[in-house]
Structure 1
Amino acid sequence: MLKLALNLFRAFFISNVMSNYPSFLSKNDLILVISPSGVVDKEEVLKGARLLEKAGFKVEFSLNAFNAHFKFGAKHQERLADLQFALDHKIAKAIYCARGGFGITHIIDELNWSQFKQNPKWIIGFSDITALLHTTYLNGFPSLHASVLQGLPRLSGDYQNKLIESLSGNISGLNATSTFNKSGKASGQLIGGNLSLLVHQIGTQTELDYRNKILFIEEVAEPLYHIDRMMLQLKRAGKLENLVGLVVGQFSNLTEDKSIYGQSVEEVILAHCEGYDFPIGFNFHIGHGEVNVALFHGAEVELVVENGVAKLTYG
């Protein structure tokens, strides 16, 4: 009876979480493309848009999507206006960020989410867009941590297809193998993103509660001492001690290696997690690479790590 009651509770809980999911996309649904952070490569964005159109979706660009203001996709108020327009849109089913880079945190606190809550839609992106995914989560909705549109043509063909299929709700779990994996089993909501952005949210309106969560992290083009410092910041801020699991994605194009710093990135992460009993899975295909797998940020997941293999599955 107890097992039956627990199963019924779990089903009820998942159904309530799923009820907050925006509608998955069907053919001819509209995707809005915005550039809320860095300046974009127009040709690559257009290539990405053609892939979406080939899959049967309609694509429209925000007014300032191809503007440029120094390093930014447009002036702060122009990017804010485009993002607010997209959040408020009554027909679109998804908002696809053209690029990460830097800039979303300049405008993130000025957004009004009231219309979005009436017409929720999938927000898609990663890297700097991590802050937007967090804000979406804090407003009660999941989002899609996946390649920005500019990066979609650069993914290998299978991963392009998997990302596009995820827009229709067709998404599966992930497996990863590493000698650094730490065994264990955990269930909880999946949150996370780019490590730099996670650290930058601490003490702000978009800071997340990490308690009882499964955290995923990825990073690009950082020296190992930056990784060390950021992991230490998470630890000192109390973000690691109440996790139930950790999923480590790609740490690509690092500007230091173990011969310089004395530790590998895996060893740095394990050192800061020493003393905690949650499972850790390394080498997941999440991040700045040609095999960036889409994840539902905010979804209920299970992480099982045993015999060097980590498996992440949706609840």
Structure 2
Amino acid sequence: MKKYLFYILISVVSSNLQAQKKMIIPPYLKKGDTIAIVATARKNVEDNLQPAIEWLHNWGLEVVIGKTIGLDKNQLAGTDEERAVDFQTMMDNPNIKAIWCVRGGYGTVRMIDLLDFTKFKQSPKWVIGFSDVTVLHSHLNNLGFASIHGIMPVSVKATEEAKESLRKALFGESLEYTVPCEPMNRYGSAKGELVGGNLSILYSLLGSSSAIDCTDKILFIEDLDEYLYHIDRMMMNLKRNGCLESLKGIIVGGMTKMHDNEIPWGKNVLEIIDDVTKPYHIPVIYNFPAGHSADNHALVLGKQIYLDVTDLESKVLFTD
């Protein structure tokens, strides 16, 4: 009996320590700092980076182009080893203060286990991107480091608001979003650490060392080009893995270019998410401006946010 109580005590202490764990925020950028552009997934062989380079120069930043830019290995930007070496080089270079992934697609998961985060832990820096870059966001979150979900160098059609939000996130300026009320929103307020990213990627990482930890978190999800039944499958998987029952709130970004089968699923994408999450009675924002659209506002994953959803408007305020 004493031995049993001892193990319970150890478990409680461990849980409390985990809850008290504070996410490490990499140093914010300042004028004169250098940011690297690399490819971790789909190839980028086009000469299309000049607009993004000009954004960075206008922000007072220097730019280094990684060796993976221009590499061509079928769909990917070189071999897994080449992409890993390029990313590792930028992580280990003390002069590089942020790493900006050029585009998504698929492939980051193929190189994640080739990376050594020893020097990164000693001298963290910002990792930026969305879509397939969710692999890095989730992995870094598990290691205890914040990162930025935002536009990428190929996002040439990004709105001025989206670009400005990334600049604010990188330079540590205040981030607060107010968006109109959506009919399906679930009202309420919550405070917690923001986690998440692309739903398909989060789903694919479950069971791995990069799997998302939803405990007492506020979850952001978005996706592109998926069938409705597959959205239901992914949401049900999150539910059955216990990822939804411990959440404090949910922010649903763009669910873009969804598809249905010849025999309809019977619900649209927001109705699917609402159906799966309704039992948890937590605040939910739908159609938040982040994801696969030009108006892709930056979100600092790993930071604490205050979420307030009312019948008039919804607010997302980063509090630390």
Q: Which runs of 5+ in 2 are unaligned?
A: 1-20
Give yes or no for the alignment of 1:168 onto 2:176: no
Q: State, as a whole percentage, how many aligned pairs show the same letter.
A: 34
Matches within 5 A, 1:27-176: 27-151=31-155, 153-176=156-179
Instruction: State whether residues 183 and 308 of structure 1, in contact with CA within 8 Å, keep that contact through their aligned partners in structure 2.
Output: no
CA distance in 1 between partners of 2:28 and 2:312 (Å): 34
CA distance in 2 between partners of 1:114 and 1:74 (Å): 24
CA distance in 1 between partners of 2:48 and 2:169 (Å): 21
Instruction: State whether residues 101 and 128 of structure 1, in contact with CA within 8 Å, keep that contact through their aligned partners in structure 2.
Output: yes
Alignment CA distance shift 1:171-1:292 (3 Å): farther
Other-structure match for 1:4: none
Instruction: State whether residues 161 and 297 of structure 2, in contact with CA within 8 Å, keep that contact through their aligned partners in structure 1.
Output: no
CA distance in 2 between partners of 1:144 and 1:183 (Å): 26
CA RMSD, aligned part only? 1.9
Matched residue of 1:216: which SS? Answer: strand
Other-structure match for 1:281: 285
Other-structure match for 2:265: 261
CA distance in 2 between partners of 1:132 and 1:56 (Å): 26
The two structures have a TM-score, normalised by structure 2, of 0.89
CA distance in 2 between partners of 1:199 and 1:44 (Å): 31
Instruction: State whether residues 45 and 72 of structure 2, in contact with CA within 8 Å, keep that contact through their aligned partners in structure 1.
Output: no
CA distance in 1 between partners of 2:102 and 2:152 (Å): 5
CA distance in 2 between partners of 1:174 and 1:300 (Å): 14
Other-structure match for 1:188: 192
Aligned length: 299
Given candidates 240, 255, 261, the residue that maps to 1:236 is: 240
Alignment CA distance shift 1:216-1:189 (3 Å): same
CA distance in 2 between partners of 1:171 and 1:126 (Å): 21
CA distance in 2 between partners of 1:158 and 1:211 (Å): 31
Decide which moves more: 29-38 or 55-64. Answer: 55-64
CA distance in 1 between partners of 2:220 and 2:45 (Å): 28
Matched residue of 2:47: which SS? Answer: helix
CA distance in 1 between partners of 2:53 and 2:71 (Å): 17
**TM superposition shift of 1:250:** 0.5
CA distance in 1 between partners of 2:317 and 2:161 (Å): 19
